[in-house]
Amino acid sequence: MARHLITSALPYINGIKHLGNMVGSMLPADVYSRYLRQRGHDVLYICATDEHGTPAELAAKEKGLPVAEFCAQAHDAQKAVYDGFALAFDHFGRSSSQENVEITQHFARKLNENGFIEERAIRQVYSPTDGRFLPDRYVEGTCPHCGYDKARGDQCENCTRVLDPTDLVNPRSAISGSTDLEVRETKHLFLLQSKLQHEVEQWVAAHEEQWPHLSSSIARKWLTEGLHDRAITRDLDWGVPVPADTWPELAAEGKVFYVWFDAPVEYLGATKEWADVDPSNRDWKSWWYEADETVRYTQFMAKDNVPFHTVMFPATQLGVREPWKKVDVVKAFNWLTYYGGKFSTSQRRGVFTDQALEILPADYWRYFLIANAPESDDSSFTWEHFTATVNKDLADTLGNFVNRVLSFSKKRFGEEVPAGGEAGEAEARLGEQIAALLAEYETQMEALQFRKAAAALRALWSAGNSYLEEKAPWLEIKTDKDGAALTLRTAMNLIHLYAIVSEPFIPASSRAMREAFRPGGDTAAWVSAEEARALAFLPVGTPFTVPPVLFAKLTEDDLEAYKERFGGE
């Protein structure tokens, strides 16, 4: 079995994230991790909060807290939400950790030794009103490429072009709104990406066939435009310090590394944190440093993060001249919109993850988001679509099937799996259908095609309903009691199958389905095609209970209440 290293883009420390952040990185990574574990693979799923930069400093100031204390509290608050969504990280670290400081500084020293870092005097935007140099993202203005009037000085959200603050038309301070800006000279370290362009091109060419088109097209666009040398330090109080043993003058000035230099290194740092927390864990470097060919590394992220992970961080890794593991597959997502507009953390537009859990259990959200993941294009969240999906797929197709099979069987045959007769033609057809759908589900999961995997899972659930309607045990029992018992026994085996294969999507509901039966300590992790075809997991006489309703149907009143609270079209 392969060893699978999985990371999702690091959520920024500032504020609870919205559903678009969840579906664009962490949730699909969790679904894939759970699936691989079920298939018997060795999996390490790593994530962390991205804690450095001006937004954290300003948020801490607003709350009257030291920035380190603010970040610690915010990290715990985010982790509580992700626990609520049942995200099964092996470790959820912090980019402000000492482990990340050490590895980031090590990378910088190695890049410098290898001739890929240069100290340069540059002219940078300074705001007299704010009394500080403004980090790139805190200069706003109009994008010179697409005309978007809220572009930041590091990147335009609209066209994804990487920018410098001085590129912006009509720039202003995002902190105070002041247009009284000056350009002053200051010294910074630059990563000489231009010297690494050819190596990055070769590396991308060797890997992009494994990537979705969205990932490869963004990487190619960057490379075609050419890699430019980029400043990797900033004038901030909060960040990974420039090491004094290498750059004493800059260290004395309090320079720190740019957040986009140290944040990707935190994938390594968080893995080291994982090992430091529990020394019994496998040596963390076996996943990253001289990792053997069995380690397959998959990253999950939204499209605006793709350039940094397909070009900039690989350039850093290549320039270090050490055998650090580089990504094999970059699974990129488009954006989930809210009624056609952007979810926005800053503008509080759309449903945020903590609010989602206040309304409904995590499985409702997990299933809807993955079944409608923005893979080939942006997708829109609407309350109407969410309500219809929950009611049709979860409540009617799956939940109702489980409840009526177990309730009817308990009423007519007692609280054990009934015997009934031998499987017949209908059961044989069902077995072939289930085996084929399971194979399709596996194929799509392994191809990281989550919407198609969800469609295959939904088809598995629907197959049970079609079988039940065909056999109609509530009528069958009047003339053929053994036949009705066979139908119900087969349907119960489907429920057990659903409990196993649905676990990556809806873990809590899957656990409730599995715990409805007591098959002598069953611990089956997955179902083979032959097992699926036979539909004979549960021995006759296995006791069962009828679980509480798995999914409550959402009413028109619910729909109106959600729209009133969060807004709609």
Residues 98-117 pLDDT 10s: 999 999 999 999 999 999 99
Label residue 165 left, alpha or beta by phi (over 0 means left) and psi (-120 to 50 means alpha).
alpha
Contact (Cβ atoms closer than 8 angstroms) between residue 351 and residue 386: no
Q: DSSP assignment, residue 39? A: T
3-state secondary structure 294-318: CEEEEEEEEHHHHHHHHHHHHHHHH
Q: Is 71 annotated as a binding residue?
A: no
User: Are the C-beta atoms of 536 and 384 separated by less than 8 Å?
Assistant: no
146 labeled part of a ligand binding site: yes
CB atoms within 10 A of CB 148: 16
Token representation of residue 497: 């199958």
Task: Give me the pLDDT at residue 346, please.
Answer: 58
Are residues 161 and 143 in contact, defined by beta-carbon separation less than 8 angstroms? yes
190 bridge partner residues = 118, 231
Question: Which residues lie closer than 8 Å to 177 by C-beta, 6 or more apart?
Answer: none
Q: What are phi and psi of 375, to 5 degrees?
A: -85, -60
Q: What is the per-residue pLDDT for 521?
A: 58
Q: In 3D, which of 4, 109, 107, 119 has the Cα closest to residue 318?
A: 107
Q: What is the pLDDT of residue 417?
A: 95
pLDDT at 280: 78
pTM score of the predicted model: 0.92
Q: How many CB atoms lie within 10 A of CB 261?
A: 27
Determine the Cα–Cα distance for residues 452 and 314; give it in Å rounded to an integer.
30
Quote the pLDDT of residue 365: 98
Bridge-based pairing state of the strands 230-231 and 182-191: antiparallel
- Write down the pLDDT at residue 190: 97
Q: Give me the DSSP letters along 414-470.
A: -SB----S---HHHHHHHHHHHHHHHHHHHHHHTT-HHHHHHHHHHHHHHHHHHHHH
Q: How distant, in Å, are the alpha carbons of 386, 389, 504 from that of 392? A: 10, 5, 20
Give the integer Cα–Cα distance in Å for 1 and 336: 34
Confidence at residue 160, expressed as pLDDT on a 0 to 100 scale: 83
3-class DSSP assignment, residue 376: coil
Q: Give the CA dihedral 280, 505, 291, 79, nearest 10 degrees.
A: -50
The residue ranges of the chain whose pLDDT is under 70 are 344-348, 519-522, 569
Domains of the chain are: 3-104+260-379 (3.40.50.620), 117-197+205-256 (2.170.220.10), 382-534 (1.10.730.10)
pLDDT tens track for 444-461: 999 999 999 999 999 999
How many angstroms separate the Cα of 230 from the Cα of each of 93, 116, 161, 492? 27, 11, 14, 60
Measured CA to CA, the distance from residue 465 to residue 429 in angstroms comes to 14
